Structure 1
């Protein structure tokens, strides 16, 4: 099971970071450059969860987001993903003097050969994945 672990430091507070991670309004498309309008759909939503499809023509996934403001944690369970298959993300937010430390864990459970090949590069993709969070989460 390929996995990636890293941390980021944001200038935003934990509630602000959680707000960006869990904003499923049309503004999400502007906030996250890797999401386009054609591949963004909110299927259902509750107070602390959302079921969404998001991504772009190259890669998209359907996932269930769940968040717990009291624990400063966002968990994303990926139901299906092109090209990686199911898996998930965990974002643990820790307040710091000048913002938030964001510990990120990404796991994939590829089922077919193509997904296994693509997922095998995941441990080496840290810099690219980290960069995708830089603008939306105001990381340094």
Structure 2
């Protein structure tokens, strides 16, 4: 079993990050590269939870998302072709006085078969950088999404210039 921990400061608020994390619409892979649209299936969704299958590259997992606590989102793996046991993700958000937010992520990968155990070992050692890069990309994509949200769409004449 591998436990991987990341922390990053972001200009996004916790609400903005949670909105990105719980946006299960088309194009999710632009925010989360390991969640290809072809794998994405929302089984159930409520005001503060969702039951979603997602993945990429032949690896999928069904996750129960719980965002009932505005400062914490817990993703619990309920089924997967490689992950089992205690697998999942926990995002914790801490607002800072300067208006930024610290995003703290703990990823647990508990392989349920040989492939999962090998992947878990790889992710916990040499593959940690790959997950960290994916996390960094997600933070940047959510920041970019929110910086565009406040701007009006460009006028046609602006596009022609």
Cα deviation, 1:51-110, whole Å, max 9, x if unaligned, reads 00112233221111001344x100000122343445110000111224211111111222
| Residue 132 of structure 2: aligned partner | 130
In 1, Cα distance between equivalents of 2:137 and 2:118:
29
| Residue 81 of structure 1: aligned partner | 80
Structure having the higher Rg: 2
Matches within 5 A, 1:67-106: 67-70=67-70, 72-86=71-85, 87-96=87-96, 97-106=98-107
Change (3 A) 1:68 1:38: same
Q: How many residues align?
A: 139
| Residue 120 of structure 1: aligned partner | 121
Cα deviation, 1:26-60, whole Å, max 9, x if unaligned, reads 24243323322211110100110000011223322
Mapped pair 1:6 → 2:1: no
Relative contact order: is structure 1 or structure 2 higher (C-alpha 8 Å, sep ≥ 6)? 1
Change (3 A) 1:51 1:2: same
TM-score of the pair, normalised by structure 1? 0.85
| Residue 111 of structure 1: aligned partner | 112
Moved more, 21-30 or 51-60: 21-30
Q: Is the 8 A contact 1:89 1:104 kept in 2?
A: yes
Moved more, 105-114 or 8-17: 105-114
Question: Where does structure 1 lack aligned partners over 5 or more consecutive residues?
Answer: none
SS of 1:37's partner is coil
| Residue 24 of structure 1: aligned partner | 24
Q: Which has the higher strand share?
A: 1
